[in-house]
């Protein structure tokens, strides 16, 4: 039998949901574990430390997965170390590839973020107004440090080279299984590609009007998800619920649609799309009947940046550059 594939997982600025998705493979993971050796999985699963990773030889890891965006100095450091140690690096999930939900913080100043997190949020009890500081001198002699928040969010490929991209928040466990299987069989696309079926969410959605022999009609009345209960068999976009299915990779098999929720694009852009938010605007706007519907939409969904760049803010053409200017 060939040597086991040395595999690493690193959680950067994410929520570990993508790692839950790997664990959710359950029996498949048990089978896969016969062919792979997990040499590093921190800080969540395995009992290895960052210093163990630093001591490994360069290029000694066959494939490394990073989930989460680069949000603080710790993420930045560990991902650079992991890159040096790995032959193949996979940006795993929406945060690592596109920025994810956390990247929407780039639409606010650091001050606003800290105030919200350490003062204003309703579960916070902070009467002295203590704010975290990267360095602290305890008892006048112990220098304590914590990682510092970077000025802006970054995707993994904005910091180091990335071989493959996997979308999803998190990637669907079934799809993760397919990825691991094709990885072990050596059937991967050329480096720099997304690992995806390349099909849209609509392609796998049972509500797709084309599938049901219906005509797609312009949308006149715009609804938010809180407006009534959508009909479970009709296309959400047709019912006026704004859905990003047409431009999103459908490796999730339309799981949100199956539970009556419109797609928000976590699967990542379909091949050929350079800026997810802008293409989404194009698709959504052209599905509307007239300018009156557009006005209604803008009125109901007020913040367009958080709507269209829900998962793809940092990867947007201008966003990172604009975000770099905000504190100045």
Partner 1 sequence: MSFCPNIVGFACQWCTYAGADLAGNLRAKYPPSIKLIKVPCSGRVEPEHVLEAFAQGADGVLVGGCHFGDCHYKTGNHKTSQRMKIFAKLLADSGFDPRRFRLEWISGAEGYRFAEVVEEFTKELQELGPNPIKEGV
Give residues in contact with partner 1 (CB under 8 A): 107, 273-275, 277-279, 281-282, 284-286, 288, 290-291, 293-295, 297-298, 303-306, 308-309, 316-319, 321-323, 325-326
- Beta carbons of 158 and 70 less than 8 angstroms apart: yes
Report the residue number, 268 or 277, with the smaller CB distance to partner 1: 277
- Residue 326 CB, shortest distance to partner 1, in Å, is 6
Give the ranges where the chain is alpha helix by DSSP (H).
17-23, 27-32, 50-55, 73-85, 94-98, 110-115, 173-184, 201-204, 255-258, 276-286, 291-300, 304-308, 319-325
Report the residue number, 27 or 215, with the smaller CB distance to partner 1: 215
In 3D space, the residue among 43, 42, 41, 102 whose CA is nearest the CA of residue 68 turns out to be 102
Measured between alpha carbons, how far is 107 from 99 in angstroms, rounded to an integer?
Answer: 12
For 249, the token pair is 């990779």
Say how many residues make up the chain.
328
In 3D space, the residue among 267, 307, 24, 282 whose CA is nearest the CA of residue 169 turns out to be 267
Report the residue number, 108 or 174, with the smaller CB distance to partner 1: 108
- Residue 160 CB, shortest distance to partner 1, in Å, is 21
Three-class SS of residue 277? helix
The DSSP code for 201 is H
Report the residue number, 144 or 292, with the smaller CB distance to partner 1: 292
- Beta carbons of 106 and 152 less than 8 angstroms apart: yes
- Residue 299 CB, shortest distance to partner 1, in Å, is 11
- Residue 247 CB, shortest distance to partner 1, in Å, is 11
Place of tokens 């595999």: 7
Report the residue number, 211 or 274, with the smaller CB distance to partner 1: 274
- Residue 63 CB, shortest distance to partner 1, in Å, is 32
Measured between alpha carbons, how far is 298 from 227 in angstroms, rounded to an integer?
Answer: 16
Strands 70-72 and 36-42: unpaired
Report the residue number, 111 or 290, with the smaller CB distance to partner 1: 290
- Residue 95 CB, shortest distance to partner 1, in Å, is 19
């Amino acid at each position: 039998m060939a040597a086991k594939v040395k595999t690493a997982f690193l959680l950067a600025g994410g929520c570990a949901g993508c790692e839950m998705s790997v664990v959710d493979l359950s029996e498949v993971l048990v089978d896969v574990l016969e062919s792979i050796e997990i040499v590093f999985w921190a800080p969540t699963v395995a009992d290895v430390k960052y210093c163990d990773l630093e001591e490994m030889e360069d290029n000694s890891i066959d494939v490394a997965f990073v989930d989460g965006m680069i949000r603080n100095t710790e993420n930045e450091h560990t991902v650079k170390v992991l890159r040096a140690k790995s032959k193949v690096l996979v940006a795993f999930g929406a945060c690592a590839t596109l920025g994810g939900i956390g990247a929407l913080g780039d639409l606010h100043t650091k001050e606003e973020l800290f105030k919200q997190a350490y003062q204003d949020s309703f579960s916070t009890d902070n009467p002295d107004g203590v704010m975290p500081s990267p360095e602290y001198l305890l008892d006048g002699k112990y220098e304590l440090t914590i990682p510092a928040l970077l000025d802006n969010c970054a995707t993994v490929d904005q910091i180091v080279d990335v071989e493959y991209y996997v979308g999803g928040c998190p990637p669907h466990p079934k799809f993760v299984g397919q990825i691991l299987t094709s990885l072990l069989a050596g059937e991967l696309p050329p480096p720099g590609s997304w690992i995806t079926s390349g099909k849209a969410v609509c392609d796998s959605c049972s509500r797709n009007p084309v599938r049901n022999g219906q005509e797609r009609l312009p949308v006149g009345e715009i609804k938010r998800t809180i407006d009534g209960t959508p009909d479970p068999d009709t296309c959400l976009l047709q019912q006026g619920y704004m859905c990003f299915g047409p431009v999103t990779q459908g490796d999730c098999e339309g799981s949100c649609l199956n539970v009556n929720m419109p797609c928000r694009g976590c699967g990542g852009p379909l091949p050929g799309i350079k800026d997810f938010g802008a293409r989404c605007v194009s698709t959504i706007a052209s599905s509307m009947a007239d300018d009156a519907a557009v006005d209604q939409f803008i009125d109901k969904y007020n913040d367009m940046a958080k709507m269209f760049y829900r998962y793809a803010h940092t990867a947007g053409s201008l966003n990172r550059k604009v975000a770099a200017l905000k504190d100045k």
